[in-house]
Amino acid sequence: MENDNEENLSQEDIYNLLKYINDPEYPQTLEELNIISPESIECNYEKKTVTVTFTPTVPHCSMCMILGLSIISRLRQALPLKTKIFVKIYPGSHKDEESVNKQLADKERVAAAMENPRLGAVVRKCLVGADKDNILEWAKLDHDILAGE
């Protein structure tokens, strides 16, 4: 974990963890596409929660689930295990908002999605910019997964 002291984390700290995540469809980051902002992040230190509300690029974005999974994955990598993470779509910004929010809130569905080799590979590619130290490790893992090893 990058930061074991969540009392020091601010909206800006969480934003800095997430802003370099790559969009799965465009050659740009979440920051560049205005998918997240510091204002879309809430940190509650007493309850040990972080809530991120993101805005898909278009109301019919087919990759909004990948965006949510990428955000969840990055926060899980960086935050203490006891931190509760909530990720949801900004109200009114996506046609399937309710369904996607329900899936992102379901820990079992998120875990199952991340166990899917191809889906996991897409999420890892989104995270490459967010954690440059793991680029080579992820590239080898993706090669092994896609090669069936």
Question: Is position 35 within any domain?
Answer: yes
> What does the pLDDT look like over 96-110, one tens digit per residue?
999 999 999 999 999
Q: Give the confidence band of 7 by pLDDT, cuts at 50, 70, 90.
A: low
| The dihedral formed by the CA atoms of 88, 92, 94 and 100, expressed in degrees to the nearest 10 | 30
Domain count, the chain: 1
Question: Is position 1 within any domain?
Answer: no
CATH number at residue 28: 3.30.300.130
- What is the spatial distance between Cα 97 and Cα 88, in angstroms, rounded to a whole number? 8
> What does the pLDDT look like over 27-84, one tens digit per residue?
899 999 999 999 999 999 889 999 999 999 999 988 999 999 999 999 999 998 899 9
Q: Give the confidence band of 1 by pLDDT, cuts at 50, 70, 90.
A: very low
Tell me 76's DSSP state: H
The answer to whether 73 and 104 have CB atoms below 8 angstroms apart is no
The pLDDT of residue 28 = 93
Question: Is position 121 within any domain?
Answer: yes
First to last CA, the chain: 28
Residue in 124, 49, 115, 58 with CA at minimum distance from that of residue 87: 49
User: Could you list the residue range(s) of the whole structural domain that residue 67 is in?
Assistant: 6-146
